[in-house]
Amino acid sequence: MNISSLHGLSVPLRDHVRYRTRRLSTRRRSIAFSSRHETTAIERIYVINLDRAQERWIAVHRELGRLREAAGHPLHSLARRFPAIDARYLQGPPPPDLLKPTYTLAEQLLVDPHPRLAIDGATRATRIDMTPQEVAVALSHIHVWQLIAASDAPYTLVLEDDAYITRTCMSVLEKAWCDIQASSDAGHPVDLLYLSYQETGEETEPPRRTRSLLRRPARGMWQLSGYVLSQAGAQKLLDQMPAHGPIDLWINQQFGRLHVQMTDRPVIEQRPGISSSNSYSVMPVLAKVGALRREAPQVFQHRPTREPILVIGDPGTGLTTVAKALSVLGLRCASDLITLPAHETRALARGSRRRLFDAYVNIGSLTPREVAGIVSSTRVRLIMTTATATSEPLSSFKEAWGLQRPQQRLLLPADDPDPWQTLARFLACDYPTHPWPHQPEQGQRHVTARSHSDVIASGRPLAWDTSPWIIQRTDWPGLMPKTPQQQDDALQAGQEAIAWQEGTRLEDSHWFLREDTFPSNRALFRPGNATLPQHGPASLTLRVEATRVRDLTGAAIASRPSFTYGSFSGCLRVPSGPGLVTGLFLHRNGPRQEIDIEILGRDTTCMLINVFYNPGTPGTRLEHGYRGTPTVIDLGFDASESLHDYEIDWQPDYIRWKVDGKTVHERVLWDPTPIPDQPLEFNVNLWSSESTEFAGPLDKQALPAVLEMTSLRAHSPAHAWKQGEPSL
């Protein structure tokens, strides 16, 4: 588990210093390692390494080459590379005799207690599904344990490929191994020795110093970047199969069956500057139950290239999919357009840095002659999609293809067995963890650069996130769709709705009352705070009520289905007062996409509209951004004085926000983001923000606060519904 990535923290400067000074070792040889089949010595080293990360194996192999075992041979002579299980190629559930890919929140809290959460019936009932990355990591370690148990090596060092050996490691092991040998001679052999670790929870007092450099774990332990496992210890772990949950969590539960030791300080560390591609299944659950109170803003690390990318190909060769893949990599991608705006075409042809976009996919106006001119006069990368690996490049673009240098061009067939690897190698970027985003072919669309006179009630923009999927230029009005009337009529056909009206109950198959929260919310949502009388408006109440995780409780209603496009509205009278937030919005995570209406109690004459966009298909864990792209709209009335109808009209090429049936704001493609395109759940809620800068300071004396509501309606194409309670 990469703790620094888990908490969203940058690697401290001291860790960089440790890494840079690792070669200043006080000792480079240790009796702990031996190639002479000693009775108690580390005779083998396994390095868990993905096939697509050969450079990491080379780095670890080089690292081991500067150190020596007892007889003076380099440690890499003991090393074996173990090809790690790749999460991208997992097919179906893991072998049931080795791993059950679920665990409970109670098991997490047993190892890593949280002061706001108790191990009770609710946490025992909260089951968590492991992510594919967690499953792959667990299976990799289990398979290494099988090799260790079947070997004749008394002890084996297991390293993950992002580990490095600190300058004190060999000297610490030299001294500690004497204690391990003495323990073995006394009939108490060590089964597991942690060399890389982070202890869980907060330490109340420092460990008592002893003459030994070893101690027993007193609390839970994270990380399996570097540990020594005996042959007998490996067999003991295998005897407890199947494991369940993340492997570094599960192994804590076996401490009662093993003789476990740890060095008095970590002597193997994770290399700084290597970001973890793993996603952690417990994090959204901790956010939902209220264990996390703050959201750390995420920043996209880097883009794969500064050179523009042109993608051409015949229809049906995966052009729309390639556009989505380039977007997932952090590129602003103009795709499937009949024509580019004239100023963008000029900027591309001139090689200007004033370009708005990084990649251009399936652009009808980029003729073979224009593409040849761009290739010959500027530095670009050219990608051509084909149906199969044996297909010939398009004859119409033969001139441009021939002008481009081989290292600057790529033939990407639709039947490529590993398109991420092909694309990542071409762009010299890391292999993504996300699934390849297969998309139906969209075809070229009629759009035009919108004039400023077309902008509807632009409002007052607030500070935006910095993101590769946001165009920061305020003079750019986006791309307006020119949708034929018959296409517009088709969008409206086949619509179905779920609705609630005052005086009726919420249909369980359509709606549910939330019992959760999110990090920046001061309140925990509770069903008891929603009142739906037989006569008159329903109400959602925010009140002072202490729980284990929050000192306020609020209320929220959400749709059980998720929707892709449609009209979503509610008739509301909002409460006023600093710190209060009324939300009517569409939302999802993995990837995070969101379309908001929020009315802040500090000024109920305005509403805040917002869009969060991250690309990818379901399962793509891109959550970058915590402010989105907010804009303040003047309502022209006080929303706390009477009921009004608020609506989000969300279509493939635009979003319109309406109040009492009148459009008050509109966003089109790349204005300033793409339009969200994944299934979203519909919500209405009343909460209080942790951020006083955002919502103002809450006056608890003014509570309870009440949101009145007379109707909710979700009107969407029937084929775009996704049934079931939305996932986190």
Query: How high is the pLDDT of residue 185?
Result: 83
State yes or no: pLDDT of 725 exceeds 60.
no
**CA dist 621 to 141, 160, 564, 615, 722, Å?**
24, 23, 19, 9, 19
Q: Which residues of 521-557 are buried (b: 16+ CB within 10 A; e: fewer)?
A: bbbbbbeebbebeeeebbbbbbbebeeebbebbbbbb
pLDDT tens column, 652-699: 999 999 999 999 999 999 999 999 999 999 999 999 999 999 999 999
Residues 713/647, Cβ–Cβ less than 8 Å: no
pLDDT tens column, 330-386: 999 999 999 998 899 999 999 888 899 999 999 999 999 999 999 998 999 999 999
User: What's the whole-number mean pLDDT along residues 553-566?
Assistant: 96
Give the pLDDT band (50/70/90) at residue 616: very high
Q: What is the pLDDT of the chain when averaged over all its residues?
A: 88
State yes or no: pLDDT of 78 exceeds 80.
yes
Percentage of the chain surpassing pLDDT 90? 64
Query: How high is the pLDDT of residue 363?
Result: 95
Beta bridge partners of 562: 681, 722
H/E run at residue 588? strand 580-588
Least confident of 109-113, 225-229, 456-460, 608-612: 456-460
Domains and their CATH numbers in the chain = 3-202+210-289 (3.90.550), 309-445 (3.40.50), 460-720 (2.60.120.200)
State yes or no: pLDDT of 636 exceeds 70.
yes
Query: How high is the pLDDT of residue 39?
Result: 72
**Beta strand pairing status for 79-83 and 42-49?**
parallel
- The rounded radius of gyration (Å) of the Cα atoms in the chain is 29
User: What's the whole-number mean pLDDT along residues 35-62?
Assistant: 89
Beta bridge partners of 447: 481
Least confident of 23-27, 195-199, 526-530: 23-27
State yes or no: pLDDT of 556 exceeds 80.
yes
pTM: 0.87
State yes or no: pLDDT of 19 exceeds 90.
no
Give the pLDDT band (50/70/90) at residue 36: confident
Query: How high is the pLDDT of residue 570?
Result: 97
Query: How high is the pLDDT of residue 473?
Result: 81
Query: How high is the pLDDT of residue 302?
Result: 74
